[in-house]
């Protein structure tokens, strides 16, 4: 974890600007994502979000922010109430089914202790990525093992 005591005024500016950018961006407004930074442009994200997809998007957002060299992710997932593997399975099924870029006939998955393993074969890197992103939007998903293979042409 990056400590505030080690920040220089310029680094505090980076942390403040990124913090403000998170809170001005519609998709992150409901979350209190805290940001600290060191003098080398390394930032640390802390806070609680609803789903794994929000963590992935927050890290990408920070990585793309001007002045950021690297991102340490200390964001956590918290759902309202308990979510078991059956709940996760149902939500992943819904998310995959609602994504027009994912063919449910060729993409399959299992859930164990909140870990989703994706299987199947596709001709498209985009479909592989879309399936992972769709699964990450389901509540209760702690991590994803994407084992979808790309067909050789």
Matching CATH number, 85-150, of 1.10.3720.10, 3.30.300.130, 2.30.110.10, 2.130.10.10 = 3.30.300.130
DSSP 3-state helix, strand, coil percentages of the chain (rounded to 5)?
40, 25, 35
Six token digits for residue 37: 């930074």
Q: For residue 72, what is the enclosing H or E element? A: strand 70-77
Q: Would you state the pLDDT for residue 54? A: 92
Span(s) in the chain for CATH 1.10.287.4300: 4-77
Structural tokens at position 124: 């498209």
Fold for 4-77, please state it.
Helix Hairpins (1.10.287)
Q: Residue 106: phi, psi to the nearest 5?
A: -115, -15
Give, for all 153 residues of the chain, the pLDDT tens digit. Answer: 444 444 444 558 899 999 999 999 998 888 889 999 998 999 999 998 888 999 999 999 999 999 999 999 999 888 777 889 999 999 999 999 999 999 999 999 999 999 999 999 999 999 999 999 999 999 899 999 999 999 986
């Amino acid at each position: 974890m990056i400590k505030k005591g080690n920040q220089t005024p310029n680094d505090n500016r980076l942390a403040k600007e990124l913090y403000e950018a998170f809170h001005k961006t519609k998709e992150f407004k409901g979350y209190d994502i805290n940001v600290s930074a060191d003098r080398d442009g390394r930032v640390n994200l802390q806070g609680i979000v609803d789903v794994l997809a929000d963590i992935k998007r927050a890290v990408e957002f920070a990585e793309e922010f001007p002045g950021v060299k690297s991102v340490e992710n200390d964001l956590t997932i918290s759902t309202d109430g308990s979510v078991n593997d059956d709940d996760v399975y149902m939500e992943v099924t819904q998310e995959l089914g609602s994504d027009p870029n994912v063919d449910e006939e060729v993409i399959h998955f299992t859930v164990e202790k909140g870990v989703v393993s994706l299987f199947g074969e596709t001709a498209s890197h985009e479909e592989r990525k879309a399936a992972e992103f769709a699964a990450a939007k389901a509540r209760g998903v702690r991590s994803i093992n994407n084992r979808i293979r790309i067909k050789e042409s």
